[in-house]
Amino acid sequence: MKILSQHIKSGEFKSVYLIYGSEDYLRKQYRDKMKLAMVGEDTMNYSYFEGKGISVKELIDLGETLPFFSERRLIIVENSGFFSSSQDELASYLKEMPETTCFIFIEKEVDKRNKLFKTISSLGYAANMSPPDDRTLMRWIAGLLKGERRQMSESTLRYFLERIDTDMENIRRELDKLVVYTDGRNEIVREDIDAVCTIHTESRVFDMIEAVAEKKQAKALQLYYELIGQKEAPMRILYWITRQFNQLYQIKDLQGKGYPGHVIAERLGVRDFVVRKNEKLCEQFSLAELRRAVEICVEREEDVKTGRLNERMAVELLIVRFSV
């Protein structure tokens, strides 16, 4: 991201770029920033292609077309799937295309062994839009809130991130809701988050497992029935319960091996605050209990698939068993 920002600021660009990675918000943001910096509102020298089935021949023909009263022609290709298949013709063309042509490819997933990926990395620049770390994410949120004349304490901000889906686009949507809801106030508090934010299923399941660990069976079942009432499918809830227990098992296992929290987060591919949030819950279970919990979850899924139990009853029995 830093390199792309430098190119945008200097106005000196490579002939080809690949913007990829799991963070949708960042991919779209840098796609739009690059387009604006390279061709502005010029539509005659800008072409956009999206989706599978894009003709490579059409891209090459367009790339050979000289720009009209401009120093460059920009072609953006998004979600093409080119980076998971053989694209030798396009890779070869990029090495010899006119200096006046620039390609920007936007993809969520890529195979780094792909010839096209290697070609772009060699000729131009491949930027990985991976989710930012906790501190960077919190600074970004604080900046958005400052622009709206709002603020959150650090503890409230952490609570916010624990409760919602932390995809950056979703964070932006939830912040917009909070800004509208708190019109006339500067400080956003936990009660505001509870009142208007869409709580992520994973966070609700965490609350359910926490109630199970504390042997609060009635509360755990109430949380389950609330999810059912919100049209969450029992099998999806079972998936999240299994995932939660598996995550707790992995965290506890790595803790036992002496790994610090930030290393555990990196190994599991989650944010640091997810590990911190789960560490206290890990204390409620032994490693053997967590392993057995995962096994029982798998058994209940098998019971449903083979018709021995219906979906709703399978999850209810699971909650009851863990909370006695």
Instruction: Render pLDDT for 186-242 as a digit per residue (tens, 0 to 9).
Output: 999 999 999 999 888 888 888 999 999 899 999 999 999 999 998 889 999 999 999
Mean pLDDT value across residues 292-313: 93
Is 2-128 a domain of CATH 3.40.50.300? Answer: yes
Average pLDDT, the chain: 93
Does 2 have pLDDT greater than 80?
yes
CA dist., res. 227 & res. 320, Å (int): 16
Which of 135, 202, 138 shows the shortest CA–CA distance to 171?
138
pLDDT computed for residue 130 by the predictor: 85
The pTM is what?
0.74
The pLDDT tens digits of the residues spanning 233-264 come to 999 999 999 999 999 999 999 999 999 988 99
pLDDT number for residue 166: 85
Share of the chain above pLDDT 90, in %: 79
Mean pLDDT of 70-98: 94
Domains 2-128 and 201-322 share a fold: no
- pLDDT-derived band at 274, boundaries 50, 70, 90: confident
Domain positions in the chain: 2-128, 134-196, 201-322
Looking at the predicted structure, is the pLDDT value of residue 131 above 90? Answer: no
pLDDT score, position 200 = 87
Checking if the pLDDT of 1 tops 80, the result is no
Q: What is the CATH number of domain 201-322?
A: 1.20.272.10
- How far is it, in rounded angstroms, from Cα 225 to Cα 157? 28
Quick one: 19 exposed, middle or buried, by C-beta within 10 A (0-12, 13-18, 19+)? buried
Annotate 236-251 with DSSP letters as a single string.
HHHHHHHHHHHHHHHH
How many Å separate Cα 292 from the centre of its chain?
Answer: 30
| pLDDT, mean of residues 64-71 | 92
Q: Give residue 272's pLDDT band: very low, low, confident or very high (50, 70, 90).
A: confident
Q: Identify the residue with better confidence: 202 or 147.
A: 147
State the number of CA atoms in the 13 A half-sphere of 300 facing the CB.
Answer: 27
Residue 74 β-bridge partners? 46, 102
Greater confidence (34 vs 134) lies with 34
Query: Average pLDDT for residues 162-183, to the nearest whole number?
Result: 92
pLDDT reported for residue 153: 95
CATH topology of domain 134-196: Helicase, Ruva Protein; domain 3 (1.10.8)
pLDDT for res 276: 87
Confidence (pLDDT) at 202: 84
Give percent helix, percent strand, percent coil of the chain, each to the nearest 5: 60, 10, 30
Share of the chain above pLDDT 70, in %: 100
Tokens of 254: 């790595």
Average pLDDT over residues 86-98: 94
